Structure 1
Amino acid sequence: LGEDSPHAARPAAWIGERGLLLHRKWSPATMAALHVAREAVRDAGWSAEDLRDAALVVGTSRGNAAGWLGPWPGRRPFKLMAASNTIHSEPASAISIELGITGPNHVTASGCAAGLDAVGVAMMMLKCGLAPRALAVAVDLPLVPLLLDNYAASGLLSSSFQPDPYHPESSGFIPGEGAAAIAFESVHEGGPSLVYHVSNSDASDPVGIPGDGGNTVPLLRKALESIGRCHAISPHATGTAVQGRADPVILNRVFPEGARPSLHPLKPFTGHTIGASGLLESVILARFLRDGQLPPNADYLTAPPGFSLPRMPVDAGGPVFKLSHGMGGHNSLLVISP
């Protein structure tokens, strides 16, 4: 941002390998999405033939705002690509072109829930028989002056370099760049599996969360009715004051004493990667689950009353719930089985 930026002293998280984001044809966000898409396909062992009829769903909140609202340092873009570089759907188009994916192709833009919703839409496509396999991708690069100005004006940015989302004085999030992708098939062949996705809306407030937890409560109860139990939760836990108040209310209404899951908030490690956050955190969870474990929490974190934040990796003994919330009252839940 430069030392003259009003945000220069704020904490943030960014992609260290800046060269990954530079390309004359594709935008920085598109390049980040392409990188993780290729990694996910490589990890899945898919061939070019496998990719041809795959479904592709990309989730992003801010899309190509990075590099469009202002010049991207070090980039010399092709003028011919100027229109493409400004649209939300370019990452999906680029992935389909570069990887040869000709199946269904969609973009979700449901704010901070976009990444988790991308997985949910992809799961629905497989369940409906629209494709035999799916690639879900999420990306956001929010460290852009105008975006940061707007977050700051809304009172959403943290000034603390030690994020503690459930501390009584926590009042904002640490913005972070992020991209993630996950490849999965309708026929599961071992390892962690995506078993359930559901979403709903609070229909209440454009920026806040209802004091009683809103419709996240019935969302979790519906998942419990379907799945049977919840071993652990990775909550949205952004660090904003409204989220810090709402989450304990939600958790206490849904989980009685003696049947409470452990909590594994991941934004203290990654920052808040906006629309990429739900999928990025799901990928982290899935990687731990491959080893039969759940990720540890930072030592300094404050736990909501009655809940535990394990400081060491713990055994994954059952379904793991991942929650995301989009501004405007959109709630999204993904369940991953070890």
Structure 2
Amino acid sequence: MATFITAAETACALGDTLEASLTKWREGRSGLTLSEGLLAGRIADRRLLKGRRYGAASNVAVKVAQRAVEKAGWTEEQTRSAWIFAASSRGQAGELLGTNAWRRPSKRFSASNTLHSEIAAAVSIELGIRGPWQMISNGCSAGLDALGLAHMALTSGMAPRVLVVAVDLPLVPELLKDFQDTRLLASKTLYDPLSPQTAGFHAGEAAVALTLESEGQGRGPCMTRYAANSDAYDSLVIPEDGGSLAELLAGFEVPDLICPHATGTANHAVAEINALHRCYPDVPPLLLLKPYTGHTLGASGLLDVALISEGLRQGNLPGNLPDLSHPTGISLDMPANPRRVLKIASGMGGHNAAVMLEGRS
């Protein structure tokens, strides 16, 4: 069964709204900026992160969720009965580590500000949503898993409609040092995730919200399948043969276009490409979105889905940045009128997720 993505909204390095992000993407311009020697993806309008009651991640999640629900045209009663699936890898890291004092916090909310689950709770409170909410923290696959669980809730008939939210704000000095110490953070000023010389990712901030409805109620691009598995291999790296990911992808129809996870770490650049070669005799063209947005951790999968689904909705799906590296035999050229797009995400610790998106004729 299909579920429809009826509205989407984002705030990320490409722009503070989804439409602004699409405009910059179509212009072929990256949203990454260089500041104090760090190339990263920043949300430009810092007011989106500010507020006295909630943590910064919750504040921006609420704002994009409000805009998505407004776009979807949900009535007050429809909004009230919706379910929420929210996702984040690092949650309220700025509040936990004491680096977000600039956001005008109230000490009364110090305890709730350090909870991952405050993100989902804040969306529920501020939008008046009385359906159940869940908080997913599956590393960098969290956003795609939240979307998958939303799809399952809808197709099972349990949920009348679902709001999916993902947010990560990893530009915190302590977090960046952790990534650097683990040899995951890039030191170069070019984000070329499939280059033989790639050695890490450039972090990015993002908040994303999507509304999902059943086929009878929905309109626009749809999601036709979700699946996930685990490597059961290592807490940091992926098996270089890509076996587990290939097994997961084998359950999907062959897409017209693949948007891989493609973080830019040396291990992932080998493992994910090996998985694609194991699964497909002729690997479909690839769309690499992290060079535009930075790696937004748990928000990355849902951010890519929001960008792709809106491109499909408008009948104009932009392509890759120029001059990116690609393995022999794999194309980065955008196919004409792609209809079926496969999105892949992988979380640290070996959790793989994938969803199939389809445009509607």
When normalised by structure 2's length, the TM-score is 0.87
Residue matched to 1:318 = 339
SS at match of 1:215: helix
Q: Is 1:242 equivalent to 2:271 in the alignment? A: no
Tell me, which stretches of 5 or more residues in structure 1 are unaligned?
1-6
What is the rounded CA distance, in whole Å, between the counterparts of 2:278 and 2:317 in structure 1?
A: 24
What is the rounded CA distance, in whole Å, between the counterparts of 1:71 and 1:173 in structure 2?
A: 22
Among 220, 239, 244, the alignment partner of 1:191 is 220
CA contact (8 A) 1:200 1:331 kept: yes
Q: Is 1:151 equivalent to 2:176 in the alignment? A: no
Distance apart, 1:173 and its partner CA: 0.1
Percent of residue pairs identical: 45
Distance apart, 1:133 and its partner CA: 0.5
More moved, 314-323 vs 197-206 = 314-323
CA contact (8 A) 1:104 1:130 kept: no
What is the rounded CA distance, in whole Å, between the counterparts of 1:266 and 1:129 in structure 2?
A: 33
SS at match of 1:315: coil
Distance apart, 1:314 and its partner CA: 4.6
CA contact (8 A) 1:231 1:320 kept: yes
1:82-231 to 2 correspondences below 5 Å: 82-187=110-215, 188-224=217-253, 229-231=254-256
More moved, 74-83 vs 194-203 = 74-83
Root mean square deviation, CA, Å: 1.3
Q: Is 1:24 equivalent to 2:52 in the alignment? A: yes
CA contact (8 A) 1:221 1:254 kept: yes
Q: Is 1:275 equivalent to 2:303 in the alignment? A: no
Q: Is 1:334 equivalent to 2:359 in the alignment? A: no
What is the rounded CA distance, in whole Å, between the counterparts of 2:247 and 2:200 in structure 1?
A: 26
Residue matched to 1:4 = none
Distance apart, 1:118 and its partner CA: 0.6
Quick one: which amino acid aligns to residue 337 of structure 2?
A
1:14-93 to 2 correspondences below 5 Å: 14-93=42-121
More moved, 279-288 vs 157-166 = 157-166
1:262-301 to 2 correspondences below 5 Å: 262-301=285-324
CA contact (8 A) 1:64 1:86 kept: yes
What is the rounded CA distance, in whole Å, between the counterparts of 2:293 and 2:212 in structure 1?
A: 24
What is the rounded CA distance, in whole Å, between the counterparts of 2:99 and 2:195 in structure 1?
A: 37
What is the rounded CA distance, in whole Å, between the counterparts of 1:317 and 1:268 in structure 2?
A: 21
Q: Provide, for residues 8-45 of structure 1, a one-character-per-residue CA deviation record: whole Å limited to 9, x for no partner.
A: 41211111000111101111000111111112112211
Distance apart, 1:189 and its partner CA: 3.4
Q: Provide, for residues 221-267 of structure 1, a one-character-per-residue CA deviation record: whole Å limited to 9, x for no partner.
A: 0123xxxx31110000011100111122111111113xx31100100
Quick one: which amino acid aligns to residue 223 of structure 1?
F
Could you list the runs of 4 or more consecutive aligned residues of structure 1 that deviate by over 3 angstroms after TM superposition? 313-317
Tell me, which stretches of 5 or more residues in structure 2 are unaligned?
1-34
What is the rounded CA distance, in whole Å, between the counterparts of 1:314 and 1:292 in structure 2?
A: 13
Residue matched to 2:327 = 304
What is the rounded CA distance, in whole Å, between the counterparts of 1:234 and 1:39 in structure 2?
A: 25
CA contact (8 A) 1:53 1:101 kept: yes
Distance apart, 1:291 and its partner CA: 2.2
What is the rounded CA distance, in whole Å, between the counterparts of 1:304 and 1:192 in structure 2?
A: 30
What is the rounded CA distance, in whole Å, between the counterparts of 1:106 and 1:222 in structure 2?
A: 27
